[in-house]
Chain A
Amino acid sequence: MIQKTHTNYEKIWKELYRRMKLVLDKYGTSYDFRAREGDYWIIDEPYGFDQHNVYFHKFKMFESRTVKELQALLGQFSGWEIFVTVCIDPEGASWPDMGLIIREYEIIDGLQRQYFPPKYQSIQYEGSRVGTDKD
């Protein structure tokens, strides 16, 4: 277990970033801002909370195995969470903000599947629950 102090926050942040990237690179490519193409993007600046943020640009990234592997990483990072944001913009459509919060022992499921293609509407995550305003 990696213990956090004020002085090693960024070191922990970087290590979790590195491990997340190893997982996500198995299932997609990192977003290229010049070409505006790619499957995911991990926000690359630490913002102070025990939290990483990743944008998923393709539905395939929401497969349960991907999310499960990200969750498994948190076993070594007590108290940390991963915010997954849906960053898919179908042409001409405006989608609400939605996503997942992955924690070591639970997943907050804030996906609004009615916007997803039928193939992805049935995705379920083990240990997930609907979020509340306290999340």
Chain B
Amino acid sequence: MGEASFLTDDEKRDATGSEPLPASSLTTLLAKYSPDQPRVPAGNSDGGQWTSGGEGGSPVGDEEGDHELLPENAQPVQGHHYTPRELFEGYDLRPEVRRFFEDDVTGKLLGGRHTWTREHKVYNEAVIEKFEAFLAEKSVSSKELTLDQAKEFSDKLVKESNDPRIRDFNFKIFIREIAFQLLMRALRRKR
């Protein structure tokens, strides 16, 4: 929520629930996140995004008119690719594998202003390094990689990675995703 500088402190508290919540309280934010919350199934173009539950639910933050709720400077983006573009555009992959990587994104994010850090490059290099190692471990070329193997790579070596180069960057993105969901929930309540 620290990124949402256009909100007043009260609005930030409102966005995070009825009880007072320090904007910096990561623990509290995480306590509100349930990993069991339903997500759109993988393979769907919204695969992996949170839903509000129920069948065929649209991703949270994707309801009609949501864009109009946002201040002009709060531009949501479609999400961060877990697998860098340099990987799925740079390697010879089966069409279905490439499509999976293309669609394998976080939910919508509240835009975060970059600073002069090198973390994005470090992340990309680390994921590509893991990918090369994964191919070697499976004894396959990139062209032979199956969809199941691509999913395994994405889940185990990227999303659940313990490598700090990957984990820390994904964690920052994850917090932005939460911030976006909370902001949209609060703005919808006011509508």
Partners in one complex: yes
> Does A97 contact B116, Cβ atoms closer than 8 Å?
yes
With A and B bound together, what is the CA distance between A66 and B125 in angstroms? 26
For B76, the chain A residues whose CB sits under 8 A away are 48
With A and B bound together, what is the CA distance between A45 and B67 in angstroms? 20
> Does B116 contact A99, Cβ atoms closer than 8 Å?
yes
> Does A47 contact B115, Cβ atoms closer than 8 Å?
no
> Does A43 contact B120, Cβ atoms closer than 8 Å?
yes
A110 to chain B, nearest CB (A): 6
With A and B bound together, what is the CA distance between A97 and B85 in angstroms? 24
A17-54 interface mask toward B, CB cutoff 8 Å, 1 = contact, 0 = none? 00000000000000101101000010111111111010
Partner of B114, one of A6, A31, A41, A43: A43
A11 to chain B, nearest CB (A): 12
For B86, the chain A residues whose CB sits under 8 A away are 33-34, 44
For B80, the chain A residues whose CB sits under 8 A away are 45
B26 to chain A, nearest CB (A): 20
B113 to chain A, nearest CB (A): 5
A85 interfacial by beta-carbon distance below 8 Å:
yes
B90 to chain A, nearest CB (A): 6
- Please provide the chain A residues from 83 to 117 with a CB less than 8 Å away from any CB of chain B in the complex: 83, 85-87, 89, 97-99, 110
> Does A110 contact B120, Cβ atoms closer than 8 Å?
no
B75 interfacial by beta-carbon distance below 8 Å:
yes
For B112, the chain A residues whose CB sits under 8 A away are 47-49
For B87, the chain A residues whose CB sits under 8 A away are 33
On whether A86 and B75 interact (CB within 8 A), knowing A33-B86, A36-B125, A55-B121, the answer reads no
Question: Among the interface residues A7, A10, A34, A99, which one has the most CB atoms of the partner chain B within 10 A?
Answer: A34
A35 to chain B, nearest CB (A): 10
Using a CB–CB cutoff of 8 Å, the interface residues on chain B facing chain A are 67-68, 70, 72, 74-78, 80-81, 84-87, 90, 109-118, 120-121, 124-125, 128
30 pairs, A vs B, C-beta closer than 8 Å: A4-B72, A6-B67, A6-B68, A6-B72, A6-B75, A10-B77, A31-B121, A33-B86, A33-B125, A34-B86, A36-B125, A43-B114, A45-B81, A45-B85, A47-B113, A47-B114, A48-B74, A48-B75, A48-B111, A48-B112, A49-B75, A49-B114, A55-B121, A83-B115, A83-B116, A87-B121, A89-B118, A97-B116, A97-B117, A99-B116
